[in-house]
Amino acid sequence: MDRYNNTHSLFVGYVLWIFGFLGAHRFYFGRPISGTIYLFTLGLLGIGWIVDLFLMPSLERSADRRYASGELSYTIAWVLLTFLGIFGLHRFYQRKIGTGIVYLLTLGLFFIGIIYDWWTLNEQISAGNLERDARYFRD
């Protein structure tokens, strides 16, 4: 198989799978709907969580195909969001200084911004990478 993108780490996916009953690996691989379902059902009562142990390589390949690689790292952004999201560090990493400051002053916009970013971070990083590539080729 020809792999033109390597946007997401299978290793990180397996680490997040440990918390998979909360949907963490599903969010990381760009599956926010099933991630939310896992969050509220504890990984479909543990059954979906166990099944995902075997589905992990296909989830990673799917994310690699869907999202644009580039200067911004999905893994770094996800680590910053997961552990320091209330301080907006993932926003600063993306060079979104204004919203980074807002998150810093409002605890991640009162956690609503954190939830929004759990749903959209992959798309934000992909758009940022595509924008930087377009700017590079224009200059």
Dump pLDDT digits (tens) for 4-38: 589 999 999 999 999 877 899 999 999 999 999 99
Q: What is the pLDDT of residues 63-86, one digit of tens each?
A: 999 999 999 999 999 999 999 999
Q: What confidence score (pLDDT) does residue 136 get?
A: 63
Tokens coding 23: 């949907």
List the chain domain ranges. Answer: 8-66, 70-139
Q: How far is CA 131 from CA 3, 28, 62, 104, 124, in A?
A: 22, 21, 22, 25, 10
Q: How far apart are CA 4 and CA 2, in angstroms?
A: 6
- Output the pLDDT for position 139: 56
